[in-house]
Structure 1
Amino acid sequence: MLHEVLLALSGHPSPLFADQNSQTDQKEFPLISPSERALLRSIGRLSELHRKLKSHLESISAAHPSIICRSVASSILHTHLARFQKRILDVEGKILTKDASLVGAYEIVPLASVVGEFDDWHRRMAWYWQIACFFQPLKDASREQQRPSTPCSSAQVIDKLRAETQTGFPDIEEAATQLAKVAETAWLKQLSSWIIYGKLPAFGAHDFFIHVDGPDGQSFSKDNDLLPTFVSSTTASSILFIGKSLHQVKRHRQAKMVSIAVSGGGSADADLAMAHLSLLAALPLPLIPSQFSRTISEIRLSLSQNVLQQLLPMSLTRQVLMCLRHFFLLGRGDFAVALINEAESRVQSRQQSMGRLLQQDPVKAMQSLSVKDAELHQALQQVWKALAAEDSETTDAVLDYARQHISLSTPKAGTSRPSSSDSFESASADVVSTAFNDLLVPSPTELSLSFSSPVDLFLSTRDVDTYSAINSYLLAIRRSHQKASDLWRRSPARRDHPVTAQDGNARQRNRKRTTATRKVWATLSAANFLLSETSAFFEGEIITGSCSHFQEWTEKPATNFDPDVSAASTVDGPGERPAQRDPETLAAGHRTFLASLTYALLLTDTIYTRELRTLLGNIDNMIAFFTRLLDVQQKLDLEAQDGAGESPHTVEAEQHTSLELDRARKKVDSGLKAVVNRLRQLDLQRIGSLRYLDVRPGEKGDFEVWKGGGGVDRLLMKLEFGRMVEGGMGTASFDLV
């Protein structure tokens, strides 16, 4: 019977354990006592579990879609269950050699002693079965509709094994630790293919957290569902960045688009790959998250200092940033003025032509309301020509770059170009959905920047979208201010021309008009003052301070790693040369800068942007009605001078326009108060650390936001000072604050 027990434990079928749930064994084996039957029942459960486990593990190691699961299943099958088989052989050897620890007097082998030799395997074998079912759940025929047999992913396997090391049972902890080492070793082999050579794993790529994104196979993205929990999002972004960069370098070399210094270093590339591989091989298992993150950072910086600095030189980075600052953030005021003037002239010509077209073909006139991309392109080209004419004696490299890469067009929905810089996830401030891009021309337009590799190592499509939103926001404020200021240039609107003493009607009419438009001029003055101070505050203080701070950070040399721990030292020798920041750190700093800038420009506050957008629209309506009223009044004056008298139609038009103008003025008045009231609320809310976007400090060398922006107290003080000055001078003023 002992021989039968040992054979059954080894995984062979035995009549002793034919059916553990039946009572037939009492008739077939009447000589077995109840106590022995109870002992055999525990051995039977262990034997059955061993057979089921071997069969299930063999199917997993042969057909499971995850390479990690196959590795762990093979380890359980060939290593852990082999230890159980060795225990069986050890027990058999003790019986054959008549070991006193197992064989008693008269060569009697107690069944309880044999069963006791396997007591420590019951919990372990049950745990192995639980893990195997976690890898590939068994189909339950009775509940097949409720329990689908879905295999797990590699990330789930690693997370499960790392969690099982904390159960508190020493034997389970030991087994889980050993299996976690196997799983993480297989995962590191997949990872090494990506971060050493920029290639997806040859086997099990569908189970890796980096996937090909797009039909061209040139862009990649990460799937957080396939990412083990011990890998932080920052580390995963760095891994994605490293592989993307290597892939781009390889693509550039194939296209012969890089310099000899980059493309001709075959031995240097091999040395660098070996250095990075040695860093991965030196990692202890199971992986320690902090040490793993530090190793990935070293590989990233080593790659940047040895390869990517030649691929993305600082001169190109500086040129792109200057282009964004000059033309998207309106660092060049002449660009904003030229673009607004060109847009206004085209809108006016369109309105004149549409007025004639409405009488001929109303349907065609309505279709012509939308602005085509070709017209926007022509308008932008005229702006470039005007700027180039001003600097005809000098060569402006930034302007030339802008002419080649900046376009003005209608926004395209759902356009998203993946880029390497999308890999880094830093603190972000989402721009509100309030649209300011429909004020320059009647239809929505936006300024966009086209870029390709290697610029996409630090610049992403989302960054350009944010720049476009900021540009539309600043242009809308500048445009309204410019249109309001232009009214003061109309002499007939501000002063009355001399009339003869006999012409009393003209003098009385002028006096009546002056009295009627006094409130309009006061409201326009207040709106002009608010827009002027807001534009000066945003462009002169917030943008200038933030951009200068960020530019100083980008041009400041980065500190090299210690040569003892840096993989770069294996290639470059002692790191004494000043090194520029690696593209990923630059991308992270740039994204943090952009988030803090949108926060300081109040583009993250829904209430303020909504009130400001309403105010700008009402100011446009008010200016349009005021201009219309001035034209109607001029027509009345001409009719009076001709001696024909004022026509009833013109008088009715004047009355109607005056009424609409007064309504628009009241809306602007309430809009001004709403904007200033929201500024007051923001001044109370943004105090202390809330004055600026508080970004959690990351690894050493990260960009710190400019601490001078975010508060609106200086803007409110300027508005208050302007009100006091106007009131002290006795001029008509509007109580903004």
Structure 2
Amino acid sequence: MLHEVLLALSGHPSPLFGEGKQPLTDLLSPSEAALLQSIGKLAERHRQLRRHARWIASHHQSIICRAVATSIQQTHLARFQQKILDVESRILTRDASIVGAYDIVPLASVVSEFDEWHRRMSWLWDIACLMQPISKSYSDTPSHGGCSGAALVNALRTAANTGFPDIEETAIALSKVAETAWLRQLTSWLLYGRLPAFGAQDFFIKAGCAADGGSTNFRKEKELLPGFVTAPTASSILFIGKSLHQTKRLSHKPGSLAPSAAHGTSEAELAKVHLQHLSSLSLPLQSAQLSRAVSAVRLSLSQNVLQHLLPMHETLRLLSCLRQYMLLGRGEFSLAVISQVEARLEARQQSMGRLLQQDPAKALQGLSVKDAELQQTIGQVWKTLAREDEAGEDDVLEFACKHVTLSVPKKGDSRPTTSDSVNGSIPQMSPVLFNDLLFPSATSLGLSVDSPLDLFISSRETETYSSINSYLLAIRRAQVRLSDLWRRTAVRRDHPSPSGRAERDATTSQESKLRTKQRSRETRKVWATCSAAIFLISEISTYLEGEVIRESCNHFETWVKTPASTDDPDTSRASLQSDRSAELGSADVAQRDPETLSAGHRSFLAALTYALLLTDVHYTRELRSLLGNLDALIALFNRLLDLQQKLDLEVDDGGTSSLTEEDERRVALELDRARKKVDSDLKSVVNRLRQLDHERIGSARYLDVRPADGGGFEAWKGGGVDRLLMKLEFGRMVEDGFDLV
């Protein structure tokens, strides 16, 4: 019977155990049957685990899971088999520790030899089922229902803290195997910029085609990222591989040299140095240790390759373009955009009136904004700015003409968030959109970033700039349109008859004066509301553009231009050619690496978005309502003024039209309703600003992004909302006991 027990434990079928059922009890006493029951469960588990691990090792889609399954087979199940052989050897050699008097081998002694394997075998079975759920039929095709390598690594690390020494030992051993397989995948990406040849679908870096179809776009997938890899480390890993991929693609272009080859550093030398940093890692991997190694590789790559691939002057030119055109730092650009759009919309309205009479269906089809029309608009803006440029050598303007576009957002696009930035606690941007105020349909300015500038700025950040630009441009447009009302001098002053003829009699003169006085009294509230609105809009624009954006950009550009510290041990250790780099000039050597600049830029953009109040849903909703109602108020006011001038001409000609008088009364009623809506929105915006002043106190006054997460950059911390509110108090207007602002 002992022979059958050992054969069953080795994985062979035995008549003592009926396919996982209770052991045969015909020839066994109850005590022996009870002892064999545990042995039967262990033997059955061994057979299932061996079969399941063999299938995983040959068919699983994850290389990490295959490696762990192979280790279970060749290491842990082999130890169990060796344990069986040791017990058998001790029985055959009549070892006194297991063989009693008269060569009797107690069954309880044999069973006790395998007590430690019950928990371990059960845990190994759970890990195998985690890698691939059990299936009734094992096919030769890979199954997609198993877990990823990252999930397996996280599960093994968690199991190492269960408190059982045997489970801890096994979990640590399997963790080393899994992390070794993952590290081999990582090595291919960090050394050569290539995705793993095997198991790329299980790697957390994914490749995809860019929007233009000309280059490859790489992205991270958090679900495939092991838990010991922090977010900054993952960003650095992605950055290093993208840089190597671009460098290699640049070297394949005819007539061009890779930056590494151009400066005497071969790819093999870089790979050798970087491999030394990765070889110094100990298993199981530690987050801090991996972060230091990746940082050393990144700094070495930057010092020997990237500072020549992306020089400082190109980065500063991109920042100047973003500041002047996306953040409206160049005032004539926003005025040119607004004037061109207004002129084009006015031309469309005139043509629309004729089309409505001729072909209404075609007129309705022309309501949507075409891409060609948007390209003509932005092209005319660039021509206007070029004519104003006397020197004609504006590199930033030339760069903007090539990369800044005006287009309709694609379907499915939403307001970008900052949740994927350096710090996971960065709040999301408000979903309220401002890109439908310039044109009747949604349009936005975008920035197309080509290689190698995408090492510094990502598509998500360009979308954030587009949202900020729409927000600032909507405020500037409302300010310009309100100011245009004061340019209509004829409606603010009492002029003689438009025809120039003398008044017929005193009665007509008296009626004209009464009509003018009544109109002045009726429009006084509208002018007061417009005055309060332009004051509020102007102060908000001045605060956002003149203080927040200007000071934040100056602070960030100063940090970018500041030479990096060379006292960091990682910096000196990562440099491959310190002597050779010293000969290139101190300006290039002191340049910060692009990944550090990119991390600092993400922190800057997140802090800027927070300071611009774009993360507050209530404020953006109230401001969006105000801007929309202001458009309606201005349109109705202009309509009323035109009707009044038309009515004056009719009176001067000796007759009046009842239709014109009816239109005047109707538009005046609608204008009064629009005025009340604007008054309510003005109060709502100011009240929300006051609430924000009370909410953003202490640590909430500024966005908390640690300098370590932002590449050493600490965002500008200037005046808060209270500075804006102090300016608004000087323009406080009271009418009938109620605040207008």
Normalising by the residue count of structure 1, what TM-score does the alignment of the two structures yield?
0.88
Q: After alignment, is 325-334 or 210-219 more displaced?
A: 210-219
Aligned to 2:203: 208
CA distance in 1, matches of 2:641, 2:19: 104
Give the distance between the partners of 1:678 and 1:285, measured in 2 at CA: 54
Tell me the equivalent position of 2:72: 76
442-451 vs 256-265, which moves further: 256-265
Residues 64-84 of structure 1: per-residue CA shift (max 9 Å, x gap):
332222222222222223333
SS for the counterpart of 2:675 is: helix
Matched, 1:187 2:178: no
Q: Offset at 1:92?
A: 4.2
Counterpart residue number, 1:246 = 244
Alpha-carbon distance between aligned partners in 2 of 1:126 and 1:462, rounded to the nearest angstrom: 46
| Alignment-mate amino acid for residue 389 of structure 2 | D
Q: CA deviation at 1:169?
A: 1.9
Secondary structure at the counterpart of residue 379 of structure 2: helix
Match of 2:607 among 591, 596, 603: 596
- What amino acid is the match of 1:357? L
Cα pair distance change 1:617/1:204, threshold 3 Å: closer
Describe the SS at the equivalent of 1:211: strand
CA contact 1:194–1:201 (8 Å) conserved in 2 = yes
Q: Indicate which of 698, 712, 715 corresponds to 1:688.
A: 698
Q: Distance in 2 between matches of 1:51 and 1:210?
A: 37
Aligned residue identity for 1:683:
D
Aligned counterpart for 1:485 among listed residues 480, 483, 486:
483
Distance 1:23 1:259 in 2: 75
Distance 2:188 2:113 in 1: 45
| Root-mean-square deviation over aligned CA pairs | 3.3
Partner amino acid, structure 2, of 1:75 = S
* Structure-1 residue corresponding to 2:542: 536
2:18, 2:24 within 8 Å by CA — same for their partners in 1? no
**1:667 counterpart residue number:** 677
Match of 1:56 in 2: 52
Residues in 2 aligned to 1:329 and 1:714: alpha-carbon distance in whole angstroms: 21
Counterpart code for 1:282? S
Give the alignment partner of residue 620 of structure 1, picking from 625, 628, 631: 631
- 1:580 maps to 591
Closer/same/farther in 2, CA of residues 517 and 45 from structure 1, 3 Å limit: closer
Separation (CA, whole Å) in 1 of partners of 2:729 and 2:421 = 45
1:277–1:493: structure 2 CA closer, same or farther, 3 Å change rule? same
CA contact (8 A) 1:240 1:423 kept: no
**Mapped pair 1:702 → 2:712:** yes
CA contact (8 A) 1:608 1:678 kept: yes
Name the counterpart of 1:358: 356
Give the SS at the match of 1:407.
strand
Shift of 1:45: 4.4
Instruction: Report the Cα distance in structure 1 between the residues aligned to 2:239 and 2:421, rounded to whole angstroms.
Output: 6
* 1:306/1:568 contact within 8 Å kept: no
Q: Distance in 2 between matches of 1:545 and 1:24?
A: 86
In the other structure, the counterpart of 2:663 is 653
Please name the residue that 1:334 is paired with.
332
Q: CA deviation at 1:314?
A: 1.4
Q: CA deviation at 1:573?
A: 5.1
Residue in 1 that maps onto 2:525: 519
Q: Is the 8 A contact 2:706 2:714 kept in 1?
A: no
Cα pair 1:676 1:736 within 8 Å, conserved? no
**Which residue identity lines up with residue 193 of structure 2 in the other structure?**
G
Q: Is the 8 A contact 1:61 1:73 kept in 2?
A: yes
Deviates more, 1:232-241 or 1:528-537: 232-241
Residues 568 and 117 (structure 1 numbering): CA distance in 2 closer, same or farther, change over 3 Å? same
Q: Distance in 1 between matches of 2:449 and 2:255?
A: 16
C-alpha offsets along residues 656-675 of structure 1, whole Å, 9 cap, x if unaligned? 33333323222222222222
2:728 is matched with which residue: 704, 719, 737?
A: 719
Q: Distance in 2 between matches of 1:187 and 1:609?
A: 45
| Secondary structure of the corresponding residue to residue 220 of structure 1 | strand
Q: Is the 8 A contact 1:138 1:149 kept in 2?
A: no
- Contact 2:422/2:710, CA 8 A, preserved across alignment: no
Q: How does 1:386-405 map to 2 (within 5 A)?
A: 386-405=384-403
Amino acid in structure 1 at the alignment position of 2:434: F
* 1:295 and 2:304 are equivalent in the alignment: no
The residue type paired with residue 596 of structure 1 is: A
Partners of 1:47 and 1:351 in 2: CA distance:
85
The secondary structure found in structure 2 opposite 1:723 is coil
Larger displacement relative to structure 2 (506-515 or 680-689): 506-515
Number of the residue aligned with 2:140:
none
Q: Distance in 2 between matches of 1:23 and 1:112?
A: 16
What per-residue deviation string (whole Å, max 9, x for no partner) do you get for residues 636-678 of structure 1? 3333433x23333333333333333323222222222222222
- What is aligned with 1:282? 280
Report the secondary structure of 1:374's partner residue. helix
Distance in 2 between residues matched to 1:538 and 1:286, nearest whole Å: 49
Distance in 1, Cα, partners of 2:216 & 2:640: 59
Q: 1:248 to 1:650 in 2, by over 3 A?
A: same
Question: How many Å separate the matches in 2 of 1:113 and 1:648?
Answer: 115
Q: CA deviation at 1:161?
A: 1.9
Change (3 A) 1:456 1:424: farther
Contact 2:693 2:721 in 1 (8 A): yes
Distance 1:395 1:4, change over 3 A: same
CA apart distance, 1:231: 2.1
> 1:178 — aligned with what?
173
User: Is 1:168 aligned to residue 163 of structure 2?
Assistant: yes
Most deviating of 568-577 and 320-329: 568-577
Give ranges in structure 1 of 5+ residues lacking alignment: 142-147
Matching residue's letter, 1:579: A
* Displacement of 1:459: 1.5
TM-score by length of 2: 0.88
1:346 corresponds to which letter in structure 2?
Answer: R
Indicate the residue corresponding to 1:407 in structure 2.
405
Deviates more, 1:606-615 or 1:210-219: 210-219
Name 1:66's counterpart in structure 2. 62
Asked if 1:129 is matched to 2:125, the reply is yes
Q: What one-letter code is carried by the residue in structure 1 that aligns with 2:382?
A: W
Q: Percent identity?
A: 60
Residue 323 (structure 1) shift: 0.6
Aligned to 1:145: none
Structure 1 residues 464, 20: closer, same or farther in 2, change over 3 A?
A: closer
* Contact persistence 1:438–1:444 (CA under 8 A): yes
Take 2:661 and 2:556, find their aligned partners in 1: how far apart are those partners? 59
8 Å CA contact 2:650, 2:656 repeated in 1: yes
Q: Mean alpha-carbon deviation: is it higher for 476-485 or for 363-372? A: 363-372
| Mapping 1:211-222, distance limit 5 Å | 211-214=206-209, 218-222=216-220
- Counterpart of 2:620 in structure 1 is 609
Other structure's SS at 2:216 match: coil
Q: Tell me whether 304-313 or 430-439 shows the greater mean CA deviation.
A: 430-439
Q: Alignment partner of 2:194: what SS? A: coil
The equivalent of 1:144 in structure 2 is none
Residue 377 (structure 1) aligns with: 375
**Aligned equivalents of 2:469 and 2:261: distance in 1?**
39
SS in 1 for 2:332: helix
Instruction: Indicate yes or no: 2:135 matched with 1:139.
Output: yes
Q: What is the distance in 1 between the residues matched to 2:90 and 2:337? A: 95
SS at match of 1:159: helix
Q: Distance in 2 between the 1:732 and 1:558 partners?
A: 61
What 5-or-longer segments of structure 2 have no aligned partner?
138-142
2-structure distance, mates of 1:427, 1:40: 57
Question: How far apart are residue 15 of structure 1 and its match?
Answer: 4.7
Matches within 5 A, 1:546-557: 546-557=552-563
Task: Report the alpha carbon displacement of residue 514 of structure 1 after superposing the two structures with TM.
Answer: 2.3
1:437-468: per-residue Cα shift (whole Å, max 9, x none)? 22223332211111211111122222222222
Per-residue deviation at 1:111? 4.9
**CA separation in 1, counterparts of 2:664 and 2:7?**
110
* 1:441 partnered with 2:439: yes
Q: 1:78 to 1:257 in 2, by over 3 A?
A: same
TM-aligned CA distance change 1:84 to 1:265, over 3 Å: farther
- The CA deviation at 1:114 is 4.3
